[in-house]
Structures are given as structure tokens and as C-alpha cells.
């Protein structure tokens, strides 16, 4: 699999641990970008770093959609992330709720594929 399939695809399902690991990687990358922006003030560099952050947000939304697919929910539910307070509960739900066992309308069980 390449990075586009791992981080930017909304097709298929994503198990809890894979979701957590990929989300953690995106978090550290965004923290690094924000740290670089704080060190290098300037319009051009901040514009580039903002573009990188937008790409990371898109990757995060794609991961959320695939995680929701594992829960047999529509990827459009990722829009709940914009609601204050609800977003915290929603993120915990994505991290803690066990996915649908066996195949669902979004594809085969990712845990069965790993074995």
C-alpha cells in the first residue's frame, strides 16, 4: 500500500488500532509543522505550512471516514468533528467502539484480513 491508499482513501474499513496509529502519526506531523511555523515567522513559510496542515486535515478526515465504515456508518458522519463538545465524544467513540464483525456494506472485516 502507498501513502495515498493508507491516509487519503475513503474506501474500505479501518480497524481501531490502525486508526489510532495513523492518527497518532498525523498528530505528530501536525505538531512538528506547527512548531516549525512558530520558529520561522514569515508569510511565505506560513503559507506553505498552512497548506501542509490542510493536507493533514484531509488525511484525518479520510481516516475517520474509513473508521466509520468499520462501524457500518456513513463517512459523512465525520462532519460531527466540527461540533464543540460533540467532537470529543465522537473521537472517543471512534477510538473505543469495536467495529462490525465480519463483512459489512463497506467491505470485509479488516481484522480478518490481518490474520
Express each pLDDT in 23-64 by its tens digit.
Answer: 999 999 999 999 988 888 888 888 999 999 999 999 999 999
Mean pLDDT of 12-16: 95
The Cβ-side half-sphere exposure at 8, using a 13 Å CA radius, reads: 7
Mean pLDDT of 77-99: 96
State the pTM of this model: 0.91
Amino acid at each position: 500500500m502507498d501513502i495515498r491508499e493508507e491516509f487519503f482513501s475513503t474506501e474500505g474499513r479501518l480497524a481501531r488500532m490502525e486508526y489510532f496509529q495513523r492518527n497518532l502519526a498525523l498528530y505528530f506531523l501536525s505538531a512538528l509543522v506547527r512548531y516549525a511555523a512558530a520558529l520561522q515567522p514569515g508569510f511565505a513559510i506560513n503559507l506553505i505550512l498552512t497548506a501542509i496542515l490542510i493536507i493533514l486535515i484531509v488525511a484525518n478526515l479520510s481516516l475517520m471516514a474509513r473508521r466509520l465504515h468499520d462501524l457500518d456508518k456513513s463517512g459523512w458522519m465525520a462532519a460531527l468533528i466540527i461540533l464543540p463538545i460533540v467532537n470529543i465524544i465522537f473521537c472517543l467513540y471512534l477510538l473505543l467502539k469495536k467495529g462490525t464483525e465480519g463483512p459489512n456494506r463497506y467491505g470485509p472485516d479488516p481484522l480478518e484480513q490481518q490474520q
